[in-house]
Amino acid sequence: MDGFKIFHDRSDAGMRLAKQLNRYHGDPNTIVLALPRGGVPVAYEVAKTLHLPLDIFVVRKLGVPFHKELAMGAIASGDVIFLNDDLIAGLNITSTEINRVLTEEKIELQRREIKYRQGHPSPDIAKKNVILIDDGIATGASIRSAVHALKKSSPNKIIIATPVAPESIISDLLLLADEVECIYPAPIFYGVGLFYEDFSQTNDEEVIALLSDIRNKNNG
C-alpha cells in the first residue's frame, strides 16, 4: 500500500464492497442506486456481482441564495424535494427565493436524468431495500441529501455503501440510514481521491455504458 492508497480504482473498490453486501445477493426486493458520476463504476461492480438491478439517483443541492455552499435542501431523481424547514425559517428565506433555486436545479437535474437514463423510467423504490453507493464520502452532504430524498419514496430500508469515509462520520450516517457498509473508515481523512491509485474522472459516456450493460445483463 502506497501511503493512503487502499483501492486500485473504482472497479476494485466495487468488487470489494460487493463482498460486504453479499447478504443481498439476488434479492428481488433490493436495488442498487449510484450517485453519478463517480459512484456508478463502484455500484456497477456491486450490482453485477450480486445480480441486482442498477440505477442512478441524481441529487442536486439547493443552495441558500446568498450562500450557495450552504444547502437548504435538495432535489433528487423522481422529482423528490427535501427542504430543511428549520434552516429556511431561521434564515428567513422566502418561497420566491426557494422556487427560483428549485427551478434552476430542476433544469440541471432533468438534463442529467435524460442524458443518463436514455429513455428508461425512474425505478419504483417503494418498500424496497435500497443500496445507495458513492465512490467515497467526505463531508457527507450529498449522501445525506440523497437519503432524505429517498425516504420520501418509502423504501423498506436504506443501506449506505461506500469504499471509504471519515471514521468520525460513520456514527452520524448510522443515525440516518438503516445500515452503513464502509470498507475503510479512515481515521485520517484529507480527501476521497487519496485512497485510490487511479481516481480519474468518470465521464458521462462511461456512466451511460455501465447502466446499459447492467440492463442488458438483467434482461438477457
CATH number of the domain residue 54 falls in: 3.40.50.2020
213 shares a domain with 108: no
CB 31 within 8 A of CB 131: yes
From the list 128, 137, 129, the residue with the least C-alpha distance to 168 is 137
Query: What average pLDDT does the segment 37-42 reach?
Result: 96
Query: Does the pLDDT value for residue 5 go beyond 90?
Result: no
54 shares a domain with 70: no
Q: Residue 5 falls within a domain, yes or no? A: no
- Residues spanned by the domain of 75: 60-117
The pLDDT of residue 3: 53
Query: What average pLDDT does the segment 201-209 reach?
Result: 94
Query: Which residue has cell 442498487?
Result: 32
182 shares a domain with 169: yes
105 is written with which cell numbers?
436545479
Lowest average pLDDT, out of 19-23, 57-61, 86-90, 160-164, goes to 57-61
193 shares a domain with 88: no
Query: Does the pLDDT value for residue 4 go beyond 90?
Result: no
Beta bridge partners of residue 81, listed in sequence order = 75
The pLDDT tens digits of the residues spanning 135-176 come to 999 878 788 888 988 998 999 999 999 999 999 999 999 999
Q: Residue 1 falls within a domain, yes or no? A: no
132 shares a domain with 41: yes
185 shares a domain with 77: no
Q: Residue 51 falls within a domain, yes or no? A: yes
Q: Residue 71 falls within a domain, yes or no? A: yes
Q: For 5, what's the count of Cα atoms within 13 Å in the CB-facing half-sphere?
A: 10
CB 34 within 8 A of CB 163: no
